[in-house]
């Protein structure tokens, strides 16, 4: 059993993340157009027909732009809070459901647990996606690293984690003061440094993939962000979730996680290729 994941787009111009197994998948947000979602999924070999649910984090346009058209076209249920649904998206013509924080929702064998976050939206949530013990977090648009974020982050094998801005670039940049304050006031976004502190202090011993997500075009640089994390990565692969193209599809399987007290024979089996190393 394995979970596949990919970023279809990540940034203020649109956010959409894919997590799925061999038979079903979910999308977290659809902030790019239906057509662009279809194109990017096809480019990286993902089938829209596997998508059984869309989860909406909050009502900002970069998270809901394409959801109505995509959901209506493919008759995909949309999961959203009742408060967020009052602000958008509109015109979803078929089944939608309201979720409640910390109450898991089952989509086939995939379990999605929404949890509250700090952001300047009406009812914002992040998501913890699990399938038979493999856990993926989608933790973006967070104004602060709160206890909820830490609780779920500690359990993740892979995470789409916001690393929105470099503090010096934001301070010296061309944004007006009021917008700078909106970004860094605890209800906007977290910086590279805040994301790194979370990673260093609270990552699990089994985290394999970290997607640096929702990078600012004006106040960050992909190379700068990645190079900040690489010295602390150890065995974790650091990936930039682009604001322009889809990532490749990454896969995590149970056979990657061999406890430290496994027998020498199991270590030998791994060397011989009897465990999946993808």
Q: What is the pLDDT of residue 208?
A: 97
Split at pLDDT 50, 70, 90, the class of 1 is confident
Sequence-ordered alpha helix ranges (H) in 75-212: 82-87, 147-153, 167-172, 177-184, 192-202
Among positive and negative, which fits the CA dihedral 165, 168, 173, 176?
positive
Does pLDDT of 277 surpass 90?
no
Ranges of beta strands (E only) in 10-142 are 16-20, 25-28, 51-55, 78-80, 96-98, 105-107, 110-116, 125-131, 134-139
Task: Report which of residues 85 and 255 the model is more confident about.
Answer: 85
Separation between Cα atoms, residue 88 and residue 70, nearest integer Å = 15
| Residue 157 near residue 255, CB atoms below 8 Å | no
DSSP symbols for 49-68: GGEEEEE---S-HHHHTTHH
Does pLDDT of 213 surpass 90?
yes
CB under 8 Å to 50, separation ≥6 — which residues? 20, 23, 24, 25
Does pLDDT of 172 surpass 80?
yes
Q: What is the pLDDT of residue 87?
A: 78
In the chain, count H helices and then E strands: 10, 14
Of 14, 23, 15, the residue nearest 4 (C-alpha): 23
Architecture of domain 2-271: 4-Layer Sandwich (3.60)
Q: What is the pLDDT of residue 34?
A: 97
Judging by beta carbons within 10 Å of its beta carbon (0-12, 13-18, 19+), is residue 45 exposed, middle or buried?
A: exposed
The domain ranges of the chain are 2-271
Separation between Cα atoms, residue 62 and residue 30, nearest integer Å = 8
Q: Read off the pLDDT of residues 96-121 as tens digits, 9 standing for 90 and up.
A: 889 999 999 999 999 999 999 999 99
Neighbours of 132 (CB within 10 A): 12
Of 260, 225, 222, the residue nearest 243 (C-alpha): 222
**pTM > 0.85: yes or no:** yes
Task: Report which of residues 260 and 180 the model is more confident about.
Answer: 180
Q: Read off the pLDDT of residues 41-98 as tens digits, 9 standing for 90 and up.
A: 999 999 999 999 999 999 999 999 999 999 999 999 999 999 998 877 765 666 688 9
Split at pLDDT 50, 70, 90, the class of 123 is very high
């Amino acid at each position: 059993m394995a979970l596949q994941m990919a970023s279809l787009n990540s940034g203020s111009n649109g956010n959409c993340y894919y997590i799925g197994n061999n038979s079903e998948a979910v999308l977290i947000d659809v902030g790019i157009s239906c057509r662009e979602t279809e194109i990017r999924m096809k480019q990286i070999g993902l089938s829209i027909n596997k998508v059984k649910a869309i989860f909406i984090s909050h009502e900002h346009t970069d998270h809901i732009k394409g959801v109505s058209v995509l959901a209506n076209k493919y008759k995909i249920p949309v999961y959203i809070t009742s408060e967020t649904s009052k602000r958008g998206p509109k015109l979803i013509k078929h089944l939608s459901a309201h979720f409640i924080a910390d109450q898991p929702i089952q989509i086939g064998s995939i379990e999605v647990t929404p949890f509250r976050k700090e952001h300047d939206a009406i009812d914002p949530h992040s998501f913890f996606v699990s399938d038979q013990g493999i856990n993926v977090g989608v933790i973006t648009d967070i104004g602060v690293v709160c206890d909820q974020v830490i609780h779920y982050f500690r359990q993740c094998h892979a995470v789409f984690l916001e690393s929105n801005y470099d503090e010096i670039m934001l301070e010296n940049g061309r944004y007006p003061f009021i917008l700078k304050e909106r970004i860094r006031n605890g209800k906007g976004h977290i910086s590279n440094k805040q994301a790194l502190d979370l990673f260093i202090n609270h990552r699990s011993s089994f985290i394999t993939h970290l997607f640096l997500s929702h990078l600012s075009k004006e106040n960050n640089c992909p190379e700068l962000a990645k190079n900040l994390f690489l010295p602390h990565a150890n065995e974790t692969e650091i990936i930039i979730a682009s604001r322009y193209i889809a990532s490749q599809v990454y896969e995590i399987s149970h056979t990657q996680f061999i406890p430290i007290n496994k027998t020498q024979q199991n270590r030998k089996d791994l060397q011989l290729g009897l465990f999946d190393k993808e």
